[in-house]
Amino acid sequence: MHYSLVTPEKSTTFAARMDTSSRFIINLDKVPAEGLNRSWHLDEAFFSALDEQEIERGKLDATLRVTKASGAYEFHFQVEGYVEVPCDRCLEPMQQPIIAEDTIKVVLGSTLEDDGDQITVPADKPEVDVAWNLYETIALAIPSFHAHENGNCNTEMTGWLNELEPVRPQNDSRWDTLRDLL
């Protein structure tokens, strides 16, 4: 399932900022009947074109398969590689493996719209810039908690964390009274 992180305005702004955005534009008029395959290698140049701070580095291979189906186009994305994100334990950079897939439907219409599951592009300019969709596919594949394998965190930081005494709850006699009622 596709979850949109961006409005059509942000997607358009993103395309304007990217030096290499023409590499990511799919012209629907040029999609052959048997479909279209594209592939890219995504690295720091791809991520530096964004104002987003979640991902700044990575090395990923991405593929896109575009097929025509009853008046619409199906875009199937596959991405594999890694991104560099801060470890949630020690805050040092770590490589987070990414394996992700996403599918979106693209239809022709009168104006540019993106509701998350379907993109409508103007029929008079049937082009889709898939760079932001690739970024979304990658960003949504990052787990909510990401940390180095045990023993691989920054030793200075883990030493400080180990020195901290855990907060222990004080015994509150009011709870004892409540327990007695049960």
Q: What is the pLDDT of residues 68-127, one digit of tens each?
A: 988 899 999 999 999 999 999 889 999 999 999 999 999 998 888 888 778 899 888 899
Q: Which domain holds residue 99?
A: 8-165
Report if residue 79 sits inside a domain: yes
Cα distances (angstroms) measured from residue 164 to each of 11, 147, 157, 160, 168:
44, 19, 11, 7, 12
CB 28 within 8 A of CB 106: yes
Number of domains in the chain: 1
pLDDT score at 167: 64
Report if residue 15 sits inside a domain: yes
Summarised one tens digit per residue, pLDDT across range 10-23 is 444 444 344 446 88
| DSSP code of residue 82 | E
Report if residue 155 sits inside a domain: yes
Summarised one tens digit per residue, pLDDT across range 107-119 is 998 888 888 778 8
Report if residue 3 sits inside a domain: no
Mean pLDDT of 162-167: 71
Report if residue 181 sits inside a domain: no
| pTM summary value | 0.74
